[in-house]
Amino acid sequence: MTGSSPAVRRLSDWDHDKLLTLADEYGTPLYVLDENRVRANYRRFTKAFPDAHVMYAAKTHTGRAVLSTLLDAGADIECAARGELQRAIDAGADPNTVQYTAVNPPDIDLSYAADLGTDNPGLTITAGAQDTFDRLAERGYNGRVAIRVNPGIGTGHHEKVATGKDAKFGIPADRVPEVAAAVAEQFDLVGVHAHVGSGVLHDDLDDHCRAIESIAAIARDVEAETGPLEFVDIGGGFGVPYREETEPLEMDTVSERVRAAVGDIDATLKLEPGRYIVADAELILTRVNTRKETESATVIGVDASLATLIRPAMFDAYHPIRNVSAPDRGDESVSVGGPCCTSADVFCTDRPVSQPERTDVLAVGNAGAYGYELANQFHSQPRPAEVAIDGDDHRVVRRRETLADVTKLEQ
C-alpha cells in the first residue's frame, strides 16, 4: 500500500488480500487507517503551499494515530474544542504551536483554553463573537487572539457545512474593523480567520476564491485600523472526490488561485486542511449477513450501520463501496444497509456492486474524515475497532468497544 502518491486513492488501490486478513483477524465492522497515505496527503498539500503555515484541523479525525503521524510529519494542530486541545497535547503537540478556534465555547472549554494560553503564550485563541472576547477578558486572559470573520459566502458539498454564510460562525464583515479596534486594546491581536465551507471541489472554486478575496480585504481593513497582522487564516475546506467519476483537485492550480485571491498582503497565509489529509486514508470493512431479494430492490444487510458511519444519513453523503471478497463476480444493483431500526440506516440504494453474498466483506471508502469522529452507540452498538497500517506492519490503535463500555457510565 505504499508506492506512488496519486492525488486520490480509490478503493481498487487498496490491497484486498491484506484487507481480508484484517477483517478475519479483528472482526467487522472495522476501521482501517493507512498512515503512509496520511503522510503522503500532507506532503502533497504542503508542497502546493510552501510559504504557508499549514495546520491540521483536528476535528476531522482526532485519533491518536492520525495526530501523532501528522505531528511527526511537521504539522501543527488547529482545535475547535477543549477535548481536541487535550488530545493534541497528549499526542505530543507543543501547546505554544496550537490554535484554538472557539465556536460558542462552553465555560469549561474557554477557561481551559485561557489557562493553557496564559501558561503557553504561543497559543492562539480565535473567537467569532464580541461576547467570547469579553468572557476571555473576564478570565484575565490578554494573550494572542484572532478574529473569526463571516464573509457572507459559503461553499462546500452540503448546506450544513457552508459555514461562511451561517450567522453562527464569525463576526459580520462590516463590524470587523470596529471589533478589531476594541480587541487590540485588550489582547495581542495577531490574525484574522475564516472558514467558508467543506468539501470544496472544482465547481466550488470560484465561490471559494471570492470568499478568500473578501477575507483578505477584511484583513487589510483590520491592518489599517490596528496595524500589521501576523497571519490571515482562510481555514480548510479542500475536498476529495468521493464519487469514482469525480476528478481530484490539482493542488498546484488551487494554490495559484488561492494566492491570487489573497492578493497583496504581508501577513503569513495560514490554512487548516482536514478532509484532504485523511479522507481517503481510511476505510471501513463490513461483512454481509443478509441477502434479500424483493420486487423493488435487492437488499444487502451488513454489520456496519449509521452508528459506524453516519455521514450518508446525516448529509446524504456518497461513499464508494466495493466487494473486496469478490470484486469480479459481476455487478448487480443493490441497496446496502445496516442493522439499525430506521430507514436512514442505508449506505446506498440501487448501487452497482459486485454481487454480494453472505459472509462477503465489503469496503466503504473515504471514511477517514468525520467517520470515527461521528461514530456513536445508537441501538447500544459498541463502536468498532480501528487498525493502523504502516507499510507491511499493522497494529490496533483503538480497541473494539464492548457492551460493558457502552453501559459503564450508567448509575
Q: Which residue has the cell 462590516?
A: 174
Q: Does the annotation count 79 as an active-site position?
A: no
Cα–Cα dist 22/387, whole Å: 8
Nearest CA to 398 out of 384, 382, 381, 380 is that of 384
**Sequence-ordered list of residues with C-beta below 8 angstroms from that of 255, at least 6 positions apart, any chain:** 48, 49
- Distance in angstroms (rounded) separating the CA atoms of residues 355 and 370: 28
Asked if the peptide bond before residue 352 counts as cis, ω within 30 degrees of 0, the response is no
Give every CB contact of residue 272 below 8 A, 6+ residues apart in sequence.
54, 55, 56, 57, 78, 195, 233, 235, 236
The single-letter DSSP state of residue 332 is E
Contacts of 378 (CB under 8 A, 6+ apart): 305, 306, 307, 340
**Alpha helices (runs of H) in 49-128, residue ranges in sequence order:** 64-73, 82-90, 107-119
Residue 89: phi, psi to the nearest 5?
-65, -40
Active site residues: 341
